[in-house]
Amino acid sequence: MGDELDHVLTTARAWLDAGHKVALATVIETWGSAPRRKGSHAIIRDDGLFEGSVSGGCVEGDVIVSAQDLLRQGGGSVRRDYGIADDMAWQVGLACGGEISVFVQTIDDEHFPPAMFDTIAAARAAGQSIGVTTDLATGYSAEQLSSDQTFTNIYPPRLRMMIVGAVHIAQSLAPLAALVGYQPLLVDPRDGFAAASRFADITVDTRWPDEAIAEWRPDSATAVVTLSHDPKIDDPALVLALRSPAFYIAALGSRRTHARRIERLTALGFSESELARIQGPAGLAIGAVNPAEIALSIMAGATAALRLGTAQSDAGKILTRQGEVSAGG
C-alpha cells in the first residue's frame, strides 16, 4: 500500500530501471480554482504512458507532448503556463476558471537526478520532510540549491493512521484510510479482536498500544484514533499521542464518556489546551449511525485537520493542529 506520491516515485524508478526515458512534470504555480495543488506531479514515459496528474486531466495532453519533445531532444526543461484568458487554455481543456504553471524536466543527472527519488523516499519513510529546489532557468534540482529563480517542493512524511482497537469500526476505517493514502497501523492486545480473519491485508499488532505507539513514534503526518472504549487500552495511547506532534487525535465514545476521559487525563497532568487536541466524540458530525458511516466521519475529521489545519471538538471549538504537513512548495 502507498499514497499517490509513493506510486509516482516507485513507478518512475521502475520505468528508469527498465531502460525507459522519463520526464517529470510539476505544478509550480496556481491561481484561482486550480484543479491540482502546487507541488503535484506527473511522470511521462518516452512512449507517452504517464502516471500522476498536474491538472486532473485538463492539460495533461499538452504536458505529455512537451515532455516527449524534451526526451526526443536528449533532455531539457520547459515551463508551460495555462490560464482561462489564454486561447491555449481552451485548446487543451483548462476551462475551470483557474490558472496553473507546470514545469517539465527530464529525469537525468543534468536535470532531475534519478537518485533524488531514493532520497525523497528515504526521508518520508523516516518520518521527515524534505525540500527539493529546482532552478527554473537550468532545470536542475537538488536538496540545497541557491539561485535567483527557483521553486522548492516540500515532500512531507508519509501519512499514517494509528488505530487503537480492532473493533467493527476499524474494519471499515483501516481500508478507507489506506484508500485515501494513509498507512493504517492497527493495534489491539485482545486475541479475539485481533484475529487475522477480521482484517484482510492489514496486520493487527497484538502488543499493548502504548508499547506499539512508542515504537511507531507519531509525527506531524500521523493521525491517532482510539476505538476500543476500554480506558486501559485507549488512555495510554492518548497519553503518547498528546506528547507527540500528531496532527489529528480522536477518541470514540459519547460526550459523557469523553468527559470522564478528560477527567482521567487531567489527573495525569495534561492542561485544558492540550486535551482540546482530542476530537471527542471522534469524527465530524454527519449523522453517522453504522460502523462504515462512523469510519467515514472519522476520515472526514482527519481530512479537515490535515487540509484545513483545524479539528472540530464536540464543544464547537476550532483547534489549530500541530505540525506542518503541506505537500506543496
Tell me: the pLDDT tens digits for 177-211? 999 999 999 999 998 887 767 887 888 899 999 99
> Which pLDDT score, from 0 to 100, does residue 316 have?
33
> Which pLDDT score, from 0 to 100, does residue 33 have?
65
Among residues 9, 112, 121, the alpha carbon closest in space to that of 67 is found at 112
Query: Which three three-digit cell numbers place residue 70?
Result: 524534451
Higher pLDDT, 60 or 240: 240
Asked whether the beta carbons of 252 and 230 are under 8 A apart, the reply is no
Distance CA 238, CA 63 (A): 46
> Does position 310 have pLDDT exceeding 70, yes or no?
no
Residue appearing with cell numbers 529546482: 134
pTM of the predicted structure, to 2 decimals: 0.78
Q: Range with the lowest mean pLDDT among 49-53, 196-200, 313-317?
A: 313-317
Q: How far is CA 232 from the centre of its chain?
A: 30
Torsion sign, CA atoms 256, 259, 261, 263:
negative
> Is residue 319 exposed (0-12), middle (13-18) or buried (19+ Cβ within 10 Å)?
middle
> Which pLDDT score, from 0 to 100, does residue 97 have?
58
Mean pLDDT of 248-276: 95
> Which pLDDT score, from 0 to 100, does residue 95 have?
53
Distance CA 150, CA 76 (A): 16
Strand order across the 160-164 sheet: 204-205, 183-187, 160-164, 222-226, 248-251, 278-279
Task: Tell me if residue 104 falls in helix, strand or coil.
Answer: strand
> Which pLDDT score, from 0 to 100, does residue 107 have?
98
Give the chain's domains with CATH numbers: 4-155 (no CATH), 160-320 (3.40.50.720)
Q: pLDDT over 70 for what percent of the chain?
A: 87
> Does position 67 have pLDDT exceeding 80, yes or no?
yes
Query: Which three three-digit cell numbers place residue 290?
Result: 453504522
Distance CA 106, CA 110 (A): 8
Confidence label for 147 from pLDDT (cuts 50, 70 and 90): confident
Torsion angle of the four alpha carbons 35, 38, 40, 43, in this order, in degrees rounded to the nearest 10: 100
> Does position 92 have pLDDT exceeding 60, yes or no?
no
Averaged pLDDT score across all residues of the chain: 87
